[in-house]
Amino acid sequence: MNTPHPYFARRSSVSETEHHWTLAEVEALFNLPFSDLIYHAQQVHRAHFDPNSVQLSTLLSIKTGGCSEDCGYCPQSAFHNSGVENQRMLDVSAVVKAAQAAKECGADRFCMGAAWREPTEADLDSVVDMVKAVRDLGMETCATLGMLTESQALRLKQAGLDYYNHNLDTSPEFYGSIISTRDYQDRLDTLERVRNAGMHVCSGGIVGMGESLAERAGLVMQLANMQPYPESVPINHLVKVEGTPLSTQPDLDPLDFVRTIAVARITMPKARVRLSAGREQMSDAVQTLCFLAGANSIFYGEQLLTTGNPDVERDRALLDKLGMYAYHEGH
Ligand code: SAM
Ligand code: DTB
Ligand code: SF4
């Protein structure tokens, strides 16, 4: 017989943002009967959001390939032979054109990604121009450029950058099996600089890299215990790209992915939980379960950074079928 999870027993007396999660509590959420987990996630979701509304972010790779980090999942690492062609940084006009097209398709946020360990000052000059130009279109802006110094974070904030994406990717314990060229603390330090500069934090991770349940729970615990937790939490399903060390990972049970979304929703009640990479390979039914589990944001548009994403027609058809709508459409 299953007993109620201890968190729900004491939820009324604990402010959600102040709750400090133990690994045992997060693991216990993962281990709830599926139906109970989804029910709890729905309750938390509905207390904070319109459950039929979804936020749409479009990604653009502004500098592709040749990255000096060795992230085992990433097709853009110079350590792997994924066939991704290295490209120079796009110019501002190309970025504005892509952002305008994304806006016309219904996206409200535009996220610029670069395959850098960290930007140089000259790189940052260009990104600052891009951020200003995208903002002028009336879109929210996000960038993911690798590690930042304090002054770089401040410059991005001053340029009007709304969100900075920097993922913890996995638990501290599993991190070293995936990436050797930087450590967990580097990631936490950048996130702190982003927070101190006054930007919204976007940070999440990848599921399906061979992590144990405890390690998956460890990722969620790390994110949920940040003070405050990120405003935006992308949960990526590993996209297995040929030529990367993780390309031969066994398939993840889709329900374990859905569980991760639900646990992120419960532990970070007010965050936008983004159903991120991996949707192209996912059935409509699994994506629907992710929405039921509390996902309320997606990457929208044919392309992620170097890999595919469902096209706009497929996404519109899915959202219509579910009676869901883009959150900025006045709902
Ligand atoms: N270079 C910067 C960095 O690592 O922070 C920004 C770009 S990097 C591609 C952004 C994120 O994409 C990574 O942190 C990772 O979570 C995600 N990512 C990269 N390759 C992926 C893959 N094959 N499957 C799922 N997510 C992936
Ligand atoms: C995030 O968490 N996922 C996005 C975005 N932030 C930058 C990137 C997914 C990349 C998937 C592999 C690729 O397309 O290269
Ligand atoms: Fe570089 Fe980012 Fe890819 Fe790692 S995830 S190899 S830092 S582009």
Say what the pLDDT of residue 328 is.
76
Q: Are 69 and 179 in contact (CB under 8 A)?
A: yes
What confidence category does residue 6 fall into, taking pLDDT thresholds of 50, 70 and 90? low
Mean pLDDT of 26-51: 98
Mean pLDDT of 226-246: 98
| Residue 4 clears pLDDT 90, i.e. is over it | no
Residues with CB under 6 A from ligand 2: 59, 75, 113, 144, 165, 167, 204, 234, 236, 239, 276-277, 304-307
Mean pLDDT of 5-25: 65
d(CA 103, CA 1): 50
Say what the pLDDT of residue 331 is.
40
Which residues are registered as beta bridge partners of 326? 54
d(CA 327, CA 34): 28
pLDDT in tens, 186-218: 999 999 999 999 999 999 999 999 999 999 999
Handedness of CA 197, 198, 199, 202 (dihedral sign): positive
DSSP annotation of 17 reads G
What confidence category does residue 329 fall into, taking pLDDT thresholds of 50, 70 and 90? low
Mean pLDDT score of the chain = 94
| Residue 11 clears pLDDT 90, i.e. is over it | no
pLDDT in tens, 94-104: 999 999 999 99
| Residue 312 clears pLDDT 70, i.e. is over it | yes
| Residue 12 clears pLDDT 60, i.e. is over it | no
Distance from the alpha carbon of residue 70 to the mean position of ligand 3, in angstroms: 7
Which residue in 199, 220, 210 sits closest to 244, CA to CA?
210
d(CA 115, CA 234): 18
pLDDT in tens, 151-183: 999 999 999 999 999 999 999 999 999 999 999
What confidence category does residue 302 fall into, taking pLDDT thresholds of 50, 70 and 90? very high
Say what the pLDDT of residue 54 is.
97
Say what the pLDDT of residue 221 is.
98
Mean pLDDT of 285-296: 98
d(CA 4, CA 137): 48
DSSP 98-131: HHHHHHHHT-SEEEEEE--SS--HHHHHHHHHHH
| Residue 10 clears pLDDT 80, i.e. is over it | no
Mutation pick for ligand 1 pocket among 61, 63, 71, 232 (CB with most ligand atoms within 8 Å): 71
Least confident stretch, 16-20, 50-54, 125-129: 16-20
Which residues are registered as beta bridge partners of 303? 308
Residue having the nearest C-alpha atom to atom 2 of ligand 2: 234
Distance from the alpha carbon of residue 306 to the mean position of ligand 2, in angstroms: 8
| Residue 257 clears pLDDT 90, i.e. is over it | yes
| Residue 13 clears pLDDT 90, i.e. is over it | no
Mutation pick for ligand 3 pocket among 117, 145, 190 (CB with most ligand atoms within 8 Å): 117
Percent share of the chain, pLDDT over 90? 93
Q: Give the per-residue SS3 of 262-293.
A: HHHHHHCCCCEEEECCCHHHCCHHHHHHHHHC
Helices 213-224 and 23-30 cross at an angle (nearest 10°) of 120
> 83: phi > 0 → left, psi -120 to 50 → alpha, else beta; which?
left
Ligand 1 atom closest to 167 (CA): 14
d(CA 214, CA 30): 9
Residue having the nearest C-alpha atom to atom 21 of ligand 1: 74
* Ligand in nearest proximity to the CA of 207: 1
Residues serving a catalytic function are 67, 71, 74, 111, 142, 202, 274
